[in-house]
Amino acid sequence: MRDLGAGFRYLLEGQRWVARHGKSYGFGLLPGLITLVLYAAALVALALWGEDAVAWATPFADDWASPWAGLFRGFLTAVLFALAMLLAVLTFTAVTLLIGQPFYESLSEQVDRDLSPDGTAPESGLPLWRELWISARDSLRIVARAAVWGVLLFALGFVPVAGQTVVPVIGFFVTGFFLTEELTAVALQRRGVELRDRLALLRSRKTLVWGFGTPLGLAFLVPFVAVFLMPGAVAGATLLARDLRGEENRDRDDDPAGALGAGGDRARP
């Protein structure tokens, strides 16, 4: 329970950090806005032509008696849109981080400098094109894992009682885990931590990860909220990454204005 609270506190501290750094927050909004427009256009197109696509994909139902063909295709259209919405939630962070890689790298580095006792931030030493390639490759791997979980949970949703109670709760925790992985990747990639090691690190502190990512995933379900929370989520994920790595933070005595918030405490060794 303590780690759950700590994870949520990092989420709040990240939002507080960007609120005190207006310029970084403003630049951090741009990638989310671009991604939102792209996703909204895709979902609108699916809503307009999804039924036609389902009808094209199910020619065998053309000769079915009324109303079975309509009910069957209506059900498939609803399933298709529901899967698209789930995939949008699971991939929004990955796509936004990829589009906004330079913005979020800079923001994460600023958080590290604020917290580091010597005012420095870890650097990968890689050229930008290489960082973008690694980010895109790892994001595709995470999206594939998340998609498998999404399909599995969607199928389990048809189980009576459990499908309407237990499965949605599990789904939120799964979403929270993958969201946290994507967000902490910004800070951990700069530290040279590979995807497999990142996943092992996150699994070692699941309650901390859930405390950060699960409420964020719930918030992302509200339209437009993800855009405004993304900069603070990256900042908070940097705080969480420092905790996971056991890195020392600046003392509160060195930060009399309290600008570091809860992150001013020393990280757990």
Residue range 125-138, pLDDT digits in tens? 777 777 778 878 88
Mean pLDDT, the chain, as a whole number? 82
Interval 36-54 mean pLDDT: 88
Model pLDDT for residues 224-236, shown as the tens digit of each residue: 788 889 899 999 9
* Residue appearing with tokens 């501290």: 13
Question: Residue 110 is encoded by which pair of tokens?
Answer: 């600023």
The listed range with the strongest mean pLDDT (62-71, 142-151, 204-213, 258-267) is 204-213
Question: Residue 67 is encoded by which pair of tokens?
Answer: 């109303």
Q: Report the amino acid identity of residue 142.
A: I
Going from N- to C-terminal start, the domains of the chain cover 2-246
> Under DSSP, is residue 212 helix (H, G, I), strand (E, B) or coil?
helix
Q: Is the peptide bond before 117 cis (omega within 30 degrees of 0)?
A: no
**Residue 4, pLDDT above cutoff 80:** yes
| pLDDT interval class at 26 (50, 70, 90) | confident
pLDDT above 90 as % of the chain: 23
Please list, in sequence order, all residues whose beta carbon lies within 8 angstroms of the beta carbon of residue 190, skipping any fewer than 6 positions away: 105, 108, 109, 121, 122, 123, 124
* CA-based end-to-end distance of the chain: 19
| Confidence at residue 251, expressed as pLDDT on a 0 to 100 scale | 59
Phi, psi of 262 (to 5 degrees): -65, -20
| Side-chain-facing half-sphere of 157: CA atoms under 13 Å | 14
The pTM score is 0.75
Is the CB of residue 181 less than 8 Å from the CB of residue 198? yes
> Under DSSP, is residue 170 helix (H, G, I), strand (E, B) or coil?
helix
Model pLDDT for residues 180-231, shown as the tens digit of each residue: 998 999 899 889 888 899 999 999 999 999 999 999 988 887 767 888 898 9
